[in-house]
Amino acid sequence: MGAPRLGLPADKIALARELASRIAAPVMEYVSRHTTVSIERATLRLLGADGADARGVPVPNLAVDSLRGRLENGAALYYVNALIAKGLTPGGLNRAIASGLDISTIELGDLERISREAHALLEAVFARIEANAALRRRREKEWEGKAKSPLLYLIVATGNIYEDVKQARAAARQGADAIAVIRATAQSLLDYVPHGATTEGIGGTYATQENFRIMREALDEVAEEEGRYIYLVNYSSGLCMPEIAVMGALERLDMLLNDSMYGILFRDINMYRTFADQHFSRMIIAAADMAINTGEDNYLTTSDAWEKACTVLASQFINERFALAAGLPHRLIGLGHAFEMNPGMKNGFLYELAQACMAREIFPDCPLKYMPPTKFMSGDIFMGYAMNTMFNLLSKVSGQSIHLLGMLTEAIHNPFLQDRYLALENAMYVMNNAADLGDEIAFREDGMIIRRALEVLNQAVSFLEEVDRLGLFEAIERGLFAEIKRPRLGGKGLEGVVRKSPAYWNPVLERMENRPAAKEGD
Q: Which of 393, 358, 357 is nearest to 373 (CA)?
A: 393
Classify burial at 63, counting beta carbons within 10 Å of its beta carbon; exposed 0-12, middle 13-18, buried 19 or more.
buried
SS3 112: helix
Round to whole Å and give the CA distance between 270 and 273. 5
Is the pLDDT score of 234 beyond 80? yes
What is the pLDDT confidence band of residue 412, given thresholds at 50, 70 and 90? confident
Q: Which of 105, 79, 107, 104 is nearest to 93 (CA)?
A: 79
Round to whole Å and give the CA distance between 489 and 431. 47
Instruction: Let me know whether 93 and 186 are in one domain.
Output: no
What pLDDT shows up at residue 325? Answer: 96
Q: Dihedral, CA atoms, 114, 119, 120, 124, nearest 10 degrees?
A: 140
In this prediction, residues 277-303 reach a mean pLDDT of 95
Is the pLDDT score of 476 beyond 90? yes
The model carries a pTM of: 0.96
What is the pLDDT confidence band of residue 520, given thresholds at 50, 70 and 90? low
Is the pLDDT score of 521 beyond 60? no
Is the pLDDT score of 411 beyond 80? no
Instruction: Let me know whether 185 and 290 are in one domain.
Output: yes
* CB-CB contact of 498 with 72 (8 Å): yes
Instruction: Let me know whether 353 and 269 are in one domain.
Output: yes
As beta bridge partners, residue 497 has 36
Whether 15 maps to a domain, the answer reads: no
CA distances in angstroms from 394 to 287, 306, 400, 410, 435, listed in the order given: 34, 17, 9, 19, 11
As beta bridge partners, residue 334 has 293
Instruction: Let me know whether 339 and 216 are in one domain.
Output: yes
What pLDDT shows up at residue 417? Answer: 82
Average pLDDT, the chain: 95
Residues 64-85 pLDDT 10s = 999 998 999 999 999 999 999 9
Whether 505 maps to a domain, the answer reads: no
Instruction: Let me know whether 259 and 171 are in one domain.
Output: yes
The alpha-helical segments, DSSP class H, found in 99-174 are 111-142, 161-174
Residues 292-302 pLDDT 10s = 999 998 888 88
What pLDDT shows up at residue 517? Answer: 61
DSSP 293-332: E--GGGHHHHS-TTTTHHHHHHHHHHHHHHHHHTT--GGG
Instruction: Let me know whether 76 and 223 are in one domain.
Output: no
Whether 11 maps to a domain, the answer reads: no
Round to whole Å and give the CA distance between 1 and 398. 9
Query: What is the number of structural domains in the chain?
Result: 2
* CB-CB contact of 196 with 210 (8 Å): yes
Is the pLDDT score of 208 beyond 70? yes
11: CB partners within 8 A, 6+ apart = none
Q: Which of 391, 349, 398, 394 is nearest to 1 (CA)?
A: 398
Of 76, 103, 122, which residue constitutes the final position of a domain?
Answer: 122
DSSP 336-400: EEE--S-TTSTTHHHHHHHHHHHHHHHSTTS--EEEPP-TT--S-HHHHHHHHHHHHHHHHHTT-
What pLDDT shows up at residue 514? Answer: 75
* Residues belonging to the active site: 262, 297, 369
SS3 403: strand
Residues 239-252 pLDDT 10s = 999 999 999 999 99
C-alpha dihedral sign at 244, 214, 150, 134 = positive
Is the pLDDT score of 450 beyond 90? yes
What pLDDT shows up at residue 519? Answer: 60
Whether 59 maps to a domain, the answer reads: yes
Whether 317 maps to a domain, the answer reads: no
- Element counts in the chain: helices (H) and strands (E): 20, 11
Instruction: Let me know whether 368 and 257 are in one domain.
Output: yes
What pLDDT shows up at residue 518? Answer: 60
Is 211 or 297 the better-scoring residue by pLDDT? Answer: 211
Whether 357 maps to a domain, the answer reads: yes
* CB-CB contact of 379 with 412 (8 Å): yes
Q: Which of 10-19, 301-310, 360-369 has the lowest mean pLDDT?
A: 301-310
As beta bridge partners, residue 337 has 370
Residues 99-137 pLDDT 10s = 999 999 999 999 999 999 999 999 999 999 999 999 999
- Residue 446's CB: how many other CB atoms inside 10 A? 7
Round to whole Å and give the CA distance between 355 and 259. 20
Instruction: Let me know whether 165 and 87 are in one domain.
Output: no
Is the pLDDT score of 170 beyond 70? yes
Whether 418 maps to a domain, the answer reads: yes
Q: Tell me the Cα Rg of the chain.
A: 23
* CATH number, domain with residue 104: 1.10.8
Residues 348-361 pLDDT 10s = 999 999 999 999 99
SS3 34: strand
Instruction: Let me know whether 158 and 254 are in one domain.
Output: yes
What pLDDT shows up at residue 516? Answer: 62
* CATH number, domain with residue 267: 3.20.20.440
In this prediction, residues 417-430 reach a mean pLDDT of 93
Is the pLDDT score of 28 beyond 90? yes
Instruction: Let me know whether 207 and 102 are in one domain.
Output: no
Q: How many CA atoms lie within 13 A of 129 on its CB side?
A: 22
Q: Which domain holds residue 65?
A: 35-122
Classify burial at 522, counting beta carbons within 10 Å of its beta carbon; exposed 0-12, middle 13-18, buried 19 or more.
middle
